[in-house]
Structure 1
Amino acid sequence: MEQDHGHHGHNQMDHGANHANHQQTTPAEALRVGWELNPKDIQPRQETEIKLSLKDSHGIPATAFSVVHEKQMHLLAISKDLSTFLHLHPEYIGDGEFTVKTKFPSAGSYKLFADFMPEGGTQQLATFEHNAEGAENTQTVTPDEVLKKTVNGLDFKLSFDRLAANQHLTMAFTITDAETQVPVKELEPYLGSAGHVVIVSSDLEKFLHVHPTDEKTTGPTVTYMTTFPEPGIYKIWGQFKHKEEMHTVPFVVEVPSE
C-alpha cells in the first residue's frame, strides 16, 4: 500500500471554484491516502477493485466528506499515453474508506487522481500510479488540427477566446446534431452540471477539473473559465449528457507561452 498526501504544490490541482479555475490553498493538515488495488497484478479488462483509505497524520480515519457535484469523491484514471480516460465515483463505506470496481481496457501505466473535499476543509487531490500487465501499446499525443469531433451522432466544436499559458481564458463547447446541424438545446444535467471537463498535461503532472460558468445551461454552448498553468500539450475531455446518453469527447491542444 502506498500513501500520497492529498495536496500537491506544483499546480497539479485546480478546480472550478466560482465557475473558474483557481489554485487551491494547502489545508492546515492534508489527509494521507492509502491505495489498495485487488488483484495486485492487474490484467487488462480484468475487474479490479480500488480501495482508498483516508486518515489524518495521527492515523485517525476521516469520516466526513462534502458532496461535490453529487458525489463525495471523483476518481479519474488516465493512461500514460492519454488514450484511456475513466471517470469513476467510489462509494464511501465508512471508517474513512472508499471503494470502486472498474476494468482497465489496455496494458500499460495509469495515473489515478482522487478528487475529494473533507467536510469543513478544502478540495484535495491525491494521486497513485500503477501498471496493467502486458505489452504497452502507446499512442503519440499530438495536437488536433481541427477542434471539432463527432461523438455518438453529435458534433462538438471546441473554441477559446485566446489560448496562452498563465492567462484566464474562456473555453467553450458548442454542440449540434451531426446529421441535421440543428443546435442541441436539450442537454441534461450530468452530476448536477451541464457538462464536466477534465484537463491534463501530456506528462500527467498538471490536472484541471472544471465546471461551466452556467451550471444550468442546456446548450448549445457550454462555457468554462480556466487557466493553463504552463505552456505545453494538454488533453481535454468534455462529458455531456443528451437523451440519457453520456458523450465523452476528447481534444488535444498545444498551449503557447503567450
Structure 2
Amino acid sequence: MNREHDHDSRHSSMQQDGLTGENRSAADHSANPHQDNSMHDSHAGHPGDHGHGQLLGEQRAVKVEVEWKSNPEPIESNQKTEIIIDIKDASGKAHEVFTTVHDKEMHLLAIKKDLSVFQHLHPAYLGKGRFQIKTTFPKAGRYKLYADFLPEGANQQLATHELVVTGHEGDEEINADKVLRKTVDDLEIELILPTARVDEPVKLIFELRDHAGAPVTELEPYLGSAGHVVIVSEDMNEFLHVHPADENTKGPRVEYMTSFPREGLFKIWGQFKYKGKLYTVSFVIEVQE
C-alpha cells in the first residue's frame, strides 16, 4: 500500500508517490487563507488545504484517512476503470455520514498532468464510508484526482491522489490563451478577465451567446448552481473550486470572485447547463506578480 500524506500548504508541499493500485492519504483541512471571505459558498485549496469562503455552522477540524483503489490494474486509456474511495477516521473506523454540497456528497475532479483532460465526476456513496465511480480516461499519462467532500460536523475536505494511465499519447504543451473567447458546440463563451495578480481579488465573468450571437438568458441549474468553475495551476499544486456570486442567474453573464495565490499559468474550466446539455469551456491565463 502506498501512503500519501496531505499537509497544510502554508508550510509544505504535498509528498506524492504512487500512482496506481491502493493509496492512502491523511487529510486535516481548514479554511484557506488565500480565499476571499466575501465569496459566496466557494471552495479554494492547495494540496491538503481546502476550505469554504463561509464556514458552515460550528465546524471542527477532523483528521480523516482516505484510501484509493483502482480496478483493473494497470489502467489503460479508453478502458472502463473503477475508482473506489474509502473515508476513515484517525482510528481507522469508517466515517459514515456526509453532508450534501451542491447536490452531491462528493465531487471528484480527474485532471491530466498536462491539463488537457478534465472530468467532473460524482461517485456514488455505497455506505460505510465508501464511494465508487466508473470512468474512462481518454488519454494516457499521469492524472491527479481531487476528492472534494464534507464529513458531517467537520470542515470541507480535499483529498488528492495520482495515478498513471498506460498508452502512447504524449503530453501537450501548456500556453496562455491569447483570446479568451471560444466556441463550444453551438455556444460562444467569452471570459472577461482583467489582469490577474497574486493575492488580489479578481472578478471572472463568463458571457454566453448562442450560435446566432444572441445572449443566453435561460441557463439551467447545474448541481444546484448557475455554473461551476475549477481552476488549477500548471504544476497542479494549486486548486480552486468556485461558485457564482449569484447562483440563480440565468445569464448571459455569470460572475465569480476569486484570487490567485501565486504567479504563473493557471487553467480555468467553466461548466454551464443550457437546454438540457452540459457545456464545458476552458481557458489558460497567466497570473502576474
| Residues 33-52 of structure 1: pairs in structure 2 closer than 5 A | 33-52=66-85
Whether the 8 Å CA contact 2:34–2:199 is kept in 1: the answer is: no
Q: Which structure has the higher relative contact order (CA within 8 Å, separation 6+)? A: 1
Whether the 8 Å CA contact 2:242–2:258 is kept in 1: the answer is: yes
Matched, 1:6 2:12: no
Gap change, CA 1:12 and 1:199, over 3 Å in 2: farther
Matched, 1:198 2:218: no
Tell me the alpha carbon deviations over residues 142-167 of structure 1, each in whole angstroms, 9 at most, x when there is no partner: 00000000001111110124411101
CA distance in 1, matches of 2:260, 2:133: 30
Task: Structure 1: give runs of 5+ residues left out of the alignment.
Answer: none
Normalized against structure 2, the TM-score is what?
Answer: 0.83
Instruction: Select 2:51's aligned residue among 2, 5, 24.
Output: 24
Tell me the alpha carbon deviations over residues 38-92 of structure 1, each in whole angstroms, 9 at most, x when there is no partner: 0120110100000000001100100110000000000000001100000100011
Q: Which amino acid aligns with 1:3?
A: R
Q: Which amino acid aligns with 2:233?
A: S
Task: Structure 2: give runs of 5+ residues left out of the alignment.
Answer: 1-21, 45-49, 53-58
Matched, 1:64 2:91: no
Whether the 8 Å CA contact 2:81–2:134 is kept in 1: the answer is: yes
| Residues 108-257 of structure 1: pairs in structure 2 closer than 5 A | 108-178=141-211, 180-257=212-289
Identity %: 48
Whether the 8 Å CA contact 1:167–1:228 is kept in 2: the answer is: yes
CA distance in 1, matches of 2:73, 2:87: 20
Q: 1:6 deviation in Å?
A: 2.9
| Residues 79-118 of structure 1: pairs in structure 2 closer than 5 A | 79-118=112-151
RMSD over aligned Cα, in angstroms? Answer: 2.1
Q: Which amino acid aligns with 1:226?
A: T
Matched, 1:75 2:108: yes
Q: Give the number of aligned pairs.
A: 255
